A and B are shown apart, each in its own frame.
Chain A
Amino acid sequence: MDEADNQICEWAELYALGGLDEEQRLEFETHLTGCADCRKVVEELREIVDVLPLASEEVSPPEGMKERVLGRVLAVEESKKTSLADALERSTVRGVHETIVPPAPAPETPFSPSAVKAKATPLSRNSLLRGACAILAVAAAALAIYSVSLQRDVSGLKKQLALTGAPSTELKVNEVVQLGPAAQDIVAKGLATIVIDAKGTHLLVQAEKLPELSGSEAFQVWLIKGDVKKSAGTFLSSAGTGAMYYTFDPQGYDTVAITLEPDGQGEQPRGRPILIAKIAG
């Protein structure tokens, strides 16, 4: 072993801990293939380094993280599979309702759906292509989550195997609506997908280009029927995008809306409406 090799051998601990830069790392990995001593050192140290992540003090994940993470992961994956044309076709086949930017009755309260509708602008309609892609992503995520809920039903698992084993495209999306901006200065856009099955009615909301959050602010999704506004949950955005999954009892809600709230604790809307759409409920 020459002197250069000896010097590289001294990187074994730094390599195991992750302290080499990219170039050094590649150099060391090349060296590893021919140096049994270093392989042994690295192998032994790996047992220790592997435990370092566990030494992090436990921190409780933010509320709703699971739904957001799984919703996005499954949506991203599914959206890769299908072309835009497929998305449009499938949306039609599944009886997707048309995008709704309804006419405008007189404004009432700060968070009256009719009030925000009155402010809807062409901004909400200029993104059909992107919207179609997003429709697919959301619908796919809803289908995937629907599939998860089926599979969770352990007692009925065997009976449902045939169903869950079938391609997710066989599942029914009952309604997809595009969420429109609630004010002129909002560029956000989003989709609400509703899936109904034996377990209930499921709502999947996904939005992008959302305003940045600060402090304890959070986005909150509301199901609205007249004056009744029911929280469907909160979510945080990541790089302007966010998603949320919610199961609810259909009670004739006619509107779904997203507001930017000072925190995620409110039972009634206090913040600014961001996105809104009519739903058939």
Chain B
Amino acid sequence: MTEALDDRELMKRIGDKEPSALENLYDRYEKVIYSFAYRMVQDAMAAEEVVQELFLRVWTHSERYDESQGKLTTWMFALTRNIAVDMLRRKSVRDRGVPVEDAALHAVADESLEPAVVVEMRTEGQRMREVLAELSRDQLQVIHSIYYGGMTQQEVAARYNIPLGTVKSRVRLALKQLKRHFKAQERREGYHG
């Protein structure tokens, strides 16, 4: 059954232009991709546009995915972020808001029907949220502004009126901490993925 196909096989079939494979991939990643896009652009219609552009690129340029370069989700998330950043840049940078830290959005998930890969992503996401919560306010600010807000280091420096060197050191420290805490949590939870 196609449900059990792994990402590599799905991409191969998408390369052969099998619409059912695209649909399968869509079903598998719709929620995470949409949630990520929404987090970045903060608007339901714009987020849908991002999702559409992503799947259009997956469908028309599946050959650009090189599995030796990493997981399919790595590629899809990078594309999603690029599309969302382009969208944010079309708006004035000055008008651009920094995505809010996730408040209680309407998260409704029917977990009973989800494939293992989605359940695993949810667990990883939860773990990352917990680790992010341990960062200092300043560190969180640079992570949010750059990663989810699509800002460059110069834009962050200008917006928050801090020296470029400070942006750089905060990013470095934040990522170092994220890495350490994330790994530590993985070990605590006995994660073997």
Contacts and interface: CB of A to CB of B under 8 A. Distances in A.
A17 B19 CA distance: 33
A108 to B, nearest CB: 34
A6 B18 CA distance: 48
Nearest to A25: B152
Given A53-B80, A151-B18, A152-B20, A58 B60 contact: no
Nearest to A144: B19
Given A17-B175, A54-B121, A58-B107, A73 B147 contact: no
- Interface class of chain B by DSSP: helix
Which of A16, A47, A54 has most chain B Cβ within 10 Å?
A54
A61 B48 contact: yes
Q: Which of A57, A65, A145, A239: most chain B CB closer than 10 A?
A: A57
A20 B151 CA distance: 8
B113 interface: no
A56 B36 contact: yes
B34 A59 contact: yes
Contacts of A47: 179
A50 interface: yes
B26 A61 contact: no
Given A48-B175, A52-B128, A148-B20, A68 B107 contact: no
* Interface size range of chain A in the complex: 35 or more
B34 A45 contact: no
Nearest to A74: B19
Interface residues of B, number: 72
B70 interface: yes
A4 to B, nearest CB: 16
Contacts of A154: 1-2
Nearest to A238: B49
Interface string A145-187: 1011001101000000000000000000000000000000000
Nearest to B171: A13
Contacts of A60: 31, 106-108
A69 interface: yes
Contact of B48 (A44, A68, A70): A68
B164 to A, nearest CB: 10
Interface of A: 10-11, 13-14, 16-21, 24, 44-62, 65-66, 68-70, 72-74, 76-77, 144-145, 147-148, 151-152, 154, 213, 236, 238-239
Q: Which 10 A-B pairs have the closest CB atoms?
A: A54-B125, A151-B20, A56-B39, A57-B102, A58-B107, A55-B128, A53-B36, A19-B146, A148-B19, A53-B77
13 contacts: A13-B172, A19-B156, A20-B152, A53-B80, A55-B132, A57-B39, A57-B107, A59-B38, A59-B107, A61-B31, A77-B59, A147-B19, A148-B19
